[in-house]
Amino acid sequence: MRRYAAVRQAVAWCYRGGSISAEPRINDRIRVPEVRLVGPSGEQVGIVPLAKALELAQEYDLDLVEVAATARPPVCKLMDYGKFKYESAMKAREARKNQAHTVIKEMKLRPKIDPHDYDTKKGHVVRFLKQGDKVKITIMFRGREQSRPELGFRLLQRLASDVEDLGFIESNPKQDGRNMIMVLGPHKKKTEAMAEAREAQAARKAGRQGSSDAASEGETAEAPADAAEAPAETPSEA
């Protein structure tokens, strides 16, 4: 009963706005008589008294970190906890940076779109698909155009055919009120598109740097040549 009362008290405290810390216990916060100790390089030291583990941590100028609190006895490791937290934060940041979020772009067309506008809209669809995004194509019907849904269907089929090397029809054309909708999916995954974009950006940056270095070398080489071509001054007669 005493244990259940403690659980209820902890739950009530959380509802009042508190939170259970996810941080591991370190050094003096560890409250057990003995621990299973892991050395700085991952070597198994064995079960040692807590006082001995803290002594070794001080000797190595490291922290004693509880890495498995539910084990019996708890597993603790000698490490630089500040460095560990920093590296973990950097890895999480890099993972978020490389995380791919699928985005659905939308492109709206009219059934009787003129060739120039069609090419412009198709260019946007090509760009979206190259970026690894899905594209929702919407054909908007107005007035009497609603009685000619085949115009919209043919336009969607034409667009899908024009970009078939970059995407595929993920959702077939369907009527939705006054509109007809089709969804195109990219052949290339978002992560691949992001990686290729980064490589292309790095290549462009390297190319600009190479051109700048070549120009600097050319200017340096021309200077001595100009100096050599300059005629020597003739001493004036007294």
Per-residue pLDDT, averaged over 27-47, amounts to: 91
Highest mean pLDDT among 48-52, 188-192, 216-220, 225-229: 48-52
Q: Could you tell me the pTM of the whole model?
A: 0.46
Q: How confident is the model at residue 120 (pLDDT cuts 50, 70, 90)?
A: very high
Collect contacts of 188-195 with beta carbons under 8 A, ≥24 apart: 188/129, 188/130, 188/132, 189/100, 189/132, 190/100, 190/101, 190/102, 190/131, 190/132, 190/133, 191/98, 191/100, 191/132, 192/132, 193/130, 193/131, 193/132, 194/98, 194/100, 194/132
Mean pLDDT over each residue of the chain, to the nearest integer = 80
- Checking if the pLDDT of 158 tops 50, the result is yes
> So what's the pLDDT on residue 128?
92
Per 3-state DSSP, what percentage of the chain is helix, strand, and coil (rounded to 5)?
Answer: 50, 25, 25
**Structure token digits, residue 196:** 């290729």
Contact 186, 194 (CB under 8 A): no
Q: What is the pLDDT of residues 70-92, one digit of tens each?
A: 999 999 999 999 998 998 888 88
